Amino acid sequence: MATVKLKIKKDDIVKVIAGREKGKKGKVLRVFPPDNRLMVEKINMIKRHMRPSSQTRQGGIVEREAPFNISNVMIICSKCDEAVRVSHRRLDDGKKVRVCKKCGEVLDRT
């Protein structure tokens, strides 16, 4: 399977555009490129029944985030403060960065 260059990275602020969590915003916790999935903070919460083990002293029902498809989110531009599409551009020094399609603002933190 060929790897795809994803336009969303860890610590980006994204908005959910589809599914039961539609309209919510959150920070990306993890990205799983082979599966085209990601985990967003406090979004798509599931309940897991955990048995006590050496790692978790107390068992019980634990709530945690579950991964969902990357196509269900859009990155939020810090300047526009809206969900936007992303393009790529090369800077003068040859570095490739992500750019907002609406305002042209560079999305990558350097």
- 76 near 83, Cβ under 8 Å? yes
Closest CA to 38 of 19, 61, 12, 62: 12
Using the 8-state DSSP alphabet, how is residue 110 labeled?
Answer: -
Domain annotation covers residue 52 = yes
Report the pLDDT value the prediction gives residue 1, as an integer from 0 to 100: 47
d(CA 34, CA 84): 23
- pTM (2 d.p.): 0.87
Report the pLDDT value the prediction gives residue 57, as an integer from 0 to 100: 85
Q: Are strands 83-84 and 73-76 parallel, antiparallel or unpaired?
A: antiparallel
- 47 near 25, Cβ under 8 Å? no
Domain annotation covers residue 5 = no
Please list the rounded mean pLDDT of every run of 10 residues in the chain (110 residues): 74 96 97 94 96 89 95 95 94 94 88
Do both 69 and 22 map to the same domain? yes
Q: Domain range holding 39? A: 13-76
